[in-house]
């Protein structure tokens, strides 16, 4: 099964909840995923920095419980935007947690 097929099978709608600074939190991400859309948050929202691990575990645990209790339900994966993380390298966050999906941001300087 391709990645695209796997994602489609877990989603009710092809939607990604935006990783909103300050607003996105585990409860919002869990609700989005439970609704069948990819829930996300910026890693920077987890404060202090040590809270990132707690947030990821909380989301993973809740989604697994939902999937176990309702195996027929489409429960989408979650995503983290590791940009600006205070816990070190964004790549380390992704690799350490084997996140189901990542939202990456890139910027281009004006005039380029």
Spacing of C-alpha 21 from chain mean position = 13
Question: CA angle at residue 61 from 21 to 67, to 5 degrees?
Answer: 105
Q: What is the pLDDT of residue 35?
A: 97
Q: Are 102 and 79 in contact (CB under 8 A)?
A: yes
Of the listed ranges 2-6, 51-55, 75-79, 95-99, the least confidently predicted one is 95-99
pLDDT digits 0-9 by tens, 58-83:
999 999 999 999 999 999 999 988 87
Look up tokens 């489609």; give the residue: 8
Q: What is the pTM of this model?
A: 0.82
Which three-class secondary structure state does DSSP give residue 40? strand
Confidence class of residue 87 from pLDDT cuts 50, 70 and 90?
A: low
- Strand 78-81: give its sheet, edge to edge: 39-42, 78-81, 101-102
Write the Ramachandran bin of 84: left for phi over 0, alpha for psi from -120 to 50, otherwise beta: left
> What is the per-residue pLDDT for 10?
92
């Amino acid at each position: 099964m391709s990645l695209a097929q796997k994602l489609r099978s877990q989603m009710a709608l092809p939607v990604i909840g935006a990783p909103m600074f300050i607003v996105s939190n585990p409860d919002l991400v869990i609700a989005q995923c439970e609704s069948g859309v990819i829930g996300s948050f910026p890693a920077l929202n987890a404060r202090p920095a040590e809270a990132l691990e707690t947030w990821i575990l909380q989301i993973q645990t809740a989604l697994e419980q939902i999937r176990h209790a309702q195996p027929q339900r489409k429960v989408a994966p979650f995503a983290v935007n590791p940009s600006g993380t205070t816990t070190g390298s964004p790549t380390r966050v992704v690799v350490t947690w084997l996140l189901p999906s990542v939202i990456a941001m890139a910027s281009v300087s004006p005039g380029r």
